[in-house]
Amino acid sequence: MSAMVELRSVRKSFGSLDVLKGVDLEVGAGEVTVVLGPSGSGKSTLLRTINHLEKVDGGWVSVDGSLIGYRRSGDKLYELREREVLKQRTQIGFVFQNFNLFPHLTVLENVVEAPVSALKRPRREAVASAEALLARVGLADKADAYPRQLSGGQQQRVAIARALALEPKLLLFDEPTSALDPELVGEVLDVIKDLARRGTTMIVVTHEIGFAREVADTVVFMDDGRVIERGAPDDVLDAPQHERTRAFLSKVL
């Protein structure tokens, strides 16, 4: 299987704080990778480097064969201009813990905005596909509502529809259910499971172990800026090799 995402020896520091200390990761096309790990281990930073919201200090990131933020020429890497970076970024959907919807726009307009402004899609076309996406996440009847009128679970489903509207090659989720009341977690995980069944390539940072077991092709465990464990869900979750993984799992299970 060809790799949709490849990270090699990725390093990232904030001042003197080394947050990613040489991360290797490979995600095949159509695969779901779940990233586990304690708070502060670098999970969000990892996702942000894949999306080029953070520039790496060492190593490289490639998505679908194109280097994020750089162009390769022989052995040298050249930094891309902001415009080219933005173009690469539109091919990667990002769903945040806190939904980040535009509060002054209706649900439909939230989903329509990026295809029209970033991809220059005809509005009529963008509206039609937004309506189809809202139906897919079970919110066809909320098109004219505003985010504040929705539950957290509904807002997160809108955020997923909005990410899908750009037809991304890759979807990144950063603790998509952590801000939700427990009874709303399931409806969001169900939408992500449906995406997995459709063969969407995804990297999901979550503490939902049941979800990882059911949906992940690969589970990765991060600790202190490194991937210390990687494998099939049953192997990593039931027979972790590292003491740190065992300690973490005993707390979240």
Question: What residue 16 binds from Mg ion, ligand ADP, none (CB within 5 to 8 A, per partner kind)?
Answer: none
Joined together, the tokens standing for residue 248 give 């973490």
Binding piece for ligand ADP, criterion CB under 6 A, among 35-43, 84-92, 114-122, 210-218: 35-43
Q: Among ligand ADP, Mg ion, none, what binds residue 154 when CB lies within 5 to 8 Å by partner kind?
A: none
Nearer to Mg ion, 41 or 155 (CB): 41
> Inter-axis angle of helices 182-197 and 152-164, to 10 degrees?
20
Q: Strand 202-205 vs strand 170-174: parallel, antiparallel, or unpaired?
A: parallel
Residue pair 194/87 in contact by the 8 Å Cβ criterion: no
| Among 22-30, 38-46, 78-86, 182-190, the segment contacting ligand ADP (CB under 6 A) | 38-46
Which partner from the list ligand ADP, Mg ion, none does 102 bind, CB cut-off 5 to 8 Å by kind? none
Residue 37 in contact with ligand ADP, rule: CB under 6 A: yes
Q: How many residues lie near ligand ADP (CB under 6 A)?
A: 11
Binding span for ligand ADP by CB under 6 A among 12-20, 74-82, 150-158, 190-198: 12-20
Among 5, 7, 19, 160, binds ligand ADP (CB under 6 A): 19
- Dmax (CA) for the chain in angstroms is 55
The binder of 40, among ligand ADP, Mg ion, none, by C-beta within 5 to 8 A per type, is: ligand ADP
Nearer to ligand ADP, 14 or 78 (CB): 14
Contacts to Mg ion from residues 20-79, by CB under 5 A: 43-44
| Binding flag, residue 42, ligand ADP (CB under 6 A) | yes
Among ligand ADP, Mg ion, none, what does residue 41 contact (CB within 5–8 Å per kind)? Answer: ligand ADP
Judge whether 34 and 216 are in contact, CB under 8 Å.
yes
**Is 45 a binder of ligand ADP (CB under 6 A)?**
yes
Of 14, 123, 141, 181, which lies in the binding site for ligand ADP, with binding defined by CB under 6 A? Answer: 14
User: How far is CA 154 from its chain centroid?
Assistant: 18
Per CB under 6 A, residues contacting ligand ADP are 14, 17, 19, 37, 39-45
